[in-house]
Amino acid sequence: MTHFVLKVPGRKLVFPICVLLAALASATARTITVDCEKTTISNALKTLDPQASNTIKVTGICRDSIGINDFADLSIVGLNDSSQKPTIKSLNNAPIFWIVASHVQISNLTLDGGVFGVMCRDSSVCRFGGNTIQNTTGNGVNLDGADATFTGDVIQSNANYGLILTASRVRVTQVTVKDTTAGSWGPGNGIEVDDGSTLVVEQLTAQSNQGAGVSLMGNSHLRNRPWTGPFTVSNNAGGGIWVTAQSSADLSGATVTNNGGGNGGAGVVINEDADVQFWGGGTFTGNQPIDVYCGTYNGFAAAPQHANIGSTNCPNTYQ
């Protein structure tokens, strides 16, 4: 092995040359543009150092299934053609993005079709901004053991679940989830929060989903921050918000109206050792068959008297 000798007064230091080269080498950040009429995002990823901070700018209409593994800092940004966002369509109904153990930002894109629009998993951190995610046959966005933020995104017309969280933490800001339909493995809930997940709401609209607008189960938690903007859940066929199976929700300031009673739903369903807080008020009216329902298996509503509730079977608590 070749060595490099560094002379220092009183001593001699010997380093293998490969160690010095490794120390001197640094990850090379790159910004590249992908014209989808000429190449693919998948091909572009092969040219990047995963440990560098990289940006891919996208133009045109793409057909791709994009695997992202162990990227330290990757941004994929759509460049508008006039007022039209670039579109990525699924290749052979595969997931459009499959993200594993990576930090990724996806912004200003339309993701159309596929079994998943995005799968983000295995300790990934995924940031979404200004995207439209639609027409998937599985789930719009699936988060499994991941952290994510959504800002200004629209998740629409997907099957099973629009957005599903499993053992994940998510913040949604100015997000709309709508028109989710039932599929082979889900009832058409707009947002499903499962297995110890946490959802922080900073302005959310969940509307016109075939299932529930929002459903929490399995020791999951929701917190609304009403000072950031409205949290509106309306016109969902399978109920507005379900909170079950040791889950909890702070619905202060929420507006839950005109939701149907399909699948045993109501405006808000609280059951199976779950609890919901209404300390900050809110409006819960016009839902079928009841606006706030406390189930027989220890469903608990904290301070429902502070909210505008049309009908409820929950007792007043915490005067």
Q: By C-alpha distance, which of 65, 63, 70, 64 is closest to 48? A: 70
- Whole-angstrom Cα distance, residue 55 to residue 149? 18
Which helix (H) or strand (E) element contains residue 20?
A: helix 17-24
pLDDT the model gives residue 24: 39
- Whole-angstrom Cα distance, residue 267 to residue 68? 39
pLDDT the model gives residue 263: 85
Q: Which residues pair with 308 in a beta bridge?
A: 283
pLDDT the model gives residue 315: 85
- Whole-angstrom Cα distance, residue 129 to residue 175? 10
- The two beta strands, 154-156 and 169-178, are parallel
pLDDT the model gives residue 82: 84
Q: Which residues contact 218 (CB under 8 A, 6 or more apart)?
A: 194, 195, 196, 245, 246, 247
Q: Which residues pair with 105 in a beta bridge?
A: 75, 127
How many Å from the N-terminal Cα to the C-terminal Cα in the chain?
79
- Whole-angstrom Cα distance, residue 284 to residue 265? 14
Q: By C-alpha distance, which of 235, 240, 228, 307 is closest to 270? A: 240
Q: By C-alpha distance, which of 92, 61, 66, 65 is closest to 78? A: 61
Q: What are phi and psi of 61, to 5 degrees?
A: -110, 120
pLDDT the model gives residue 237: 98
pLDDT the model gives residue 162: 98
- For the chain, 319 residues long, give each residue's pLDDT as a single digit of tens: 555 444 445 555 454 544 444 443 457 899 999 999 999 999 999 999 999 999 999 999 999 999 999 999 999 999 998 888 999 999 999 999 999 999 999 999 999 999 999 999 999 999 999 999 999 999 999 999 999 999 999 999 999 999 999 999 999 999 999 999 999 999 999 999 999 999 999 999 999 999 999 999 999 999 999 999 999 999 999 999 999 999 999 999 999 999 999 889 999 999 999 999 999 999 999 999 999 999 988 899 999 999 999 999 998 776 5
